[in-house]
A and B are shown apart, each in its own frame.
Chain A
């Protein structure tokens, strides 16, 4: 009966395949031809839609995907994680895993779409791309599209500009007046957007750009100005002499993590203590329960950067030269994969941060971690902006809007009578421009960033028993020497991990033999090794197996076994058993 169903299923699927081929034209290389889950990758999704896409992917690929909530946001939204792996290659928790999140900063939304694209791509290509098939056999992916679901919707649905809110939505008294979140933006002209306010005045220092009068630029010294800028659209709602000074939130969810946490006066945006926000707490609990996470990717925007830590200069000690060499391979390969993106060191090339998520991953958990700052002005005209012209002075975004978006990104300046400022004009870019990709650039950048992330995931440790040899010692004793190799570039333990014993060592166990001694060899050829006293001699503890490196482990056993059964247990290198025939030395 079962066989019959299988055969008919096979026939049906063959039939549909043939039919589809006729109907659907030619498959574009690198893209699933007829995906089971149809998703448009040129738009942004609200929380409910994100969850719906996760569910669809899970339903379409139940053998590859599980979906579970890791906790609730401040407002009670479930935080969903997709676990993606081919269980034929072993249980998810027994494989080296790769963690992906997006959208920790509420206005940096496209990390969510890129994380979703990754889940979609992995599942839809599992059948057709061999690399993906092997990757899902070897690795597990934990993908949390948004680790900040409340404020994702806050950005999408409420009044904001491109830079707000960075914060989540837990109310905070920003101005210290004893009331919470009492002076937010106001949509004065009722167009559903928060843009800039400007006022015509002789004392103003701004003038319209000669080539595009929509843009304001600073007048040259000696030149008369025309406008002054009055900040984003709003009122002094609480009548304290300040406009928009206590908006929803304000704290920085990416300063709430457990490595080198510093308080608000050192690290602005810090909350009360590490993981004092419900969202970061849930992620922390998930990460603590999944020590198999070996690499992580955190999607932010903006600027086209692959950032590694440390976040602060004084944490340089958490990166040894050998660790940096690994990051360098990943980052420099990334630079080739995504034109316009630069591999940089967070504290040195950007600014100092304390208590960031990726720093906690690296220095707090021993995980290689990258922050990708998505979108860059390079993508506008595929060239670097003119040297010396900053992100806000150059008019490329205006030109791009005019030439390629036909003015869709800009709200024209229009007069308004403000209760405090009098006659003003309101106008400027919409919130979804500059930091977030225009639709047609999103799919490409999603793919390129995913490819970088998959390269990182591929580079997490892969442990193999490459050689097992035996030599008789007489008196019924045999020495068995196994070579265990890591065939990828990331070590099982980063040096900061080794120093602080963040993760347990690797355990190499010879099963089913009567083991009298176990040794970790320094030089197997000359019998120099360290006997492991105390623990059961069959299990040898190995502090680290370097990237592309190997270790030799030796056991003295009674008898002369012909076959081996060796169990490898490594937090970040997987848990599995290797069997084979022992070769004489």
Chain B
């Protein structure tokens, strides 16, 4: 009895723990949440570590699936926390998992979990992520590897410093005749670059909060860590730039992710929550980029699908997300160009667009500040205050600016609507996924003991069996058509096993036939990682 009560309280606590708070989870809270999901929904949710970060934190993989082998069902993968400061993405992916699990008994979701697998890797760069919950908070996008960011032969010699003692790293503005920044007309707290073409004159030098520890004239150019995950993948790898590391996929975090993904032949599409977006703004087909040797544009059919999926995204009510191009070395580009999967990215949430015309502004920070004020969100701005700065002894130096994290990561209650919509979107997406069936099975007796078997391999889904890009790489498992027969039967014409390298479009069918000598029955099988396995038994005439 006592134990039951404790359990009940624990459940209630976990309930509030998961839904009641407006704050983000630090890594150990995140781990606890995932473990709770795993223990509460053990038959639906499996939690596994696919590797460890530089500092030994687990890279968690949450697998949602009901019955059967999850690795044999077509899957989607959601990854977040590659941009380590993007807490909203981490929170959203975990809450989307929760939503699926809570509503697993609903018909639509039950069907999804029975036929598909949803992989969630909520936090790919946990060491960087944890900076948001450390004593000193700053938007850190690097992991904990030792990296000489400015490549000067000295390690971590010039990091940020909290000069005003508020435990936050904001900005410094220094009044200087050579300054290139001025205050914004709509909000004097916000600084913008002076536009010389409009006759504007700068007043401030703007740098991040800190000192020039190594006296090289640069500020905070080589702090603690590390490698930027989204600069460390193989497509368009920005070699030797700040945060890119010594070569692509050099880090334990992204190696763990890639090793898992290369093994998971069932992953059909990849979604990233982070600072990238091709869901509200689909990639346009660009023939030159799509056909050059080092391909850097989506293939024609895939661009059409991107458009189709974007419309689906819009239909779920998600709009107004900013355009965020994927830079070189980004995970999402790897997932498309090198892993050959349909790959989508979204920041999940952003400050809503201006509604009233008179309130419009050309500046994101101003827009954010107005939104925060309207929604009574306090603590988003550190007002400029003068300090003494050792590197600028005779100048007016002020610390201030937007607090770290606030712009991309609203109090979590503001994420609820978008999380709900994203959950719906994923459900809708899964229903479009390819579903290959063997239909119109026909048998004809050709003559004594010789049977012609003809079948249609039909993709009943609305998306192709895999991306057009995936036709090129061996890492996308291809459709295999096999005629399984006994030793007493022989295939007189046709292949025992055929590997179909091109994708079968949504709604498309292909006809296959064999001439088989013998009696009894044979089995036609079709299978591919991204679609699962189907078979029919056929009696020989």
Beta-carbon contact of B239 and A500 below 8 Å: yes
Q: How far is the CB of A520 from chain B (nearest CB, A)?
A: 15
Q: How far is the CB of B151 from chain A (nearest CB, A)?
A: 4
Beta-carbon contact of A500 and B214 below 8 Å: no
Beta-carbon contact of A240 and B495 below 8 Å: yes
Question: Is A436 interfacial (CB 8 A cutoff)?
Answer: no
Question: Is B472 interfacial (CB 8 A cutoff)?
Answer: yes
Question: Is B474 interfacial (CB 8 A cutoff)?
Answer: yes
> Which secondary structure dominates where chain B touches chain A?
loop
What CA separation (Å) do A506 and B239 show in the bound complex? 22
Question: Is B499 interfacial (CB 8 A cutoff)?
Answer: yes
Q: How far is the CB of B535 from chain A (nearest CB, A)?
A: 14
> Which residues of B have CB within 8 Å of A177?
480, 497, 499
> Which residues of A have CB within 8 Å of B248?
258, 261, 273-274
> Which residues of A have CB within 8 Å of B527?
178
Residue interface mask B484-514, A partner, CB < 8 A = 1: 0000000000011101010000000000000
> Which residues of A have CB within 8 Å of B499?
175-177
What CA separation (Å) do A77 and B262 show in the bound complex? 25
What CA separation (Å) do A264 and B338 show in the bound complex? 8
Q: Decide: A240 near B215, CB < 8 A? Known: A261-B248, A272-B258.
A: no
A-B contact count (CB 8 A): 99
> Which residues of A have CB within 8 Å of B477?
176, 178
Question: Is B478 interfacial (CB 8 A cutoff)?
Answer: yes
Q: Decide: A263 near B338, CB < 8 A? Known: A272-B262, A274-B234, A534-B215.
A: yes
Q: Count the B residues whose beta carbon is within 8 Å of the partner chain — how many?
A: 39
Beta-carbon contact of B480 and A261 below 8 Å: no
Question: Is A414 interfacial (CB 8 A cutoff)?
Answer: no
Question: Which residues 538-574 of A sit at the B interface, judged by CB distance below 8 A?
Answer: 541
Q: Decide: A265 near B473, CB < 8 A? Known: A175-B499, A274-B248, A275-B247.
A: yes
Question: Which residues 507-546 of A sit at the B interface, judged by CB distance below 8 A?
Answer: 507, 533-535, 541
Question: Is B390 interfacial (CB 8 A cutoff)?
Answer: no
Q: How far is the CB of A171 from chain B (nearest CB, A)?
A: 13
Q: Decide: A500 near B151, CB < 8 A? Known: A265-B472, A273-B234.
A: yes
Beta-carbon contact of B234 and A261 below 8 Å: yes
Beta-carbon contact of A263 and B337 below 8 Å: yes
> Which residues of B have CB within 8 Å of A502?
151, 240
Q: How far is the CB of A145 from chain B (nearest CB, A)?
A: 25
> Which residues of A have CB within 8 Å of B473?
263-265
> Which residues of A have CB within 8 Å of B495?
240-241
What CA separation (Å) do A239 and B154 show in the bound complex? 60
> Which residues of B have CB within 8 Å of A301?
none
> Which residues of A have CB within 8 Å of B216?
533-535
> Which residues of B have CB within 8 Å of A89?
none
What CA separation (Å) do A40 and B425 show in the bound complex? 70
Beta-carbon contact of B246 and A535 below 8 Å: no
Q: Which of B153, B215, B495 has the most chain A CB within a 10 Å cutoff? A: B153
What CA separation (Å) do A21 and B259 show in the bound complex? 61
Question: Is A232 interfacial (CB 8 A cutoff)?
Answer: no
Q: How far is the CB of B50 from chain A (nearest CB, A)?
A: 15
What CA separation (Å) do A172 and B474 show in the bound complex? 10
Smallest CB-CB separation from B233: which chain A residue? A273
Q: List 28 A-B contacts (CB under 8 A).
A: A176-B477, A176-B480, A177-B497, A239-B497, A240-B496, A240-B497, A241-B496, A259-B247, A261-B237, A262-B294, A263-B473, A264-B475, A266-B295, A272-B258, A273-B234, A273-B248, A274-B250, A284-B247, A314-B294, A500-B239, A500-B240, A501-B151, A502-B151, A504-B152, A533-B216, A533-B217, A534-B217, A535-B214
Q: Could you list which residues of chain A lie within 8 angstroms of chain B, going by C-beta atoms?
A: 172-173, 175-178, 238-241, 258-259, 261-266, 272-276, 284, 288, 314, 360, 364, 500-505, 507, 533-535, 541
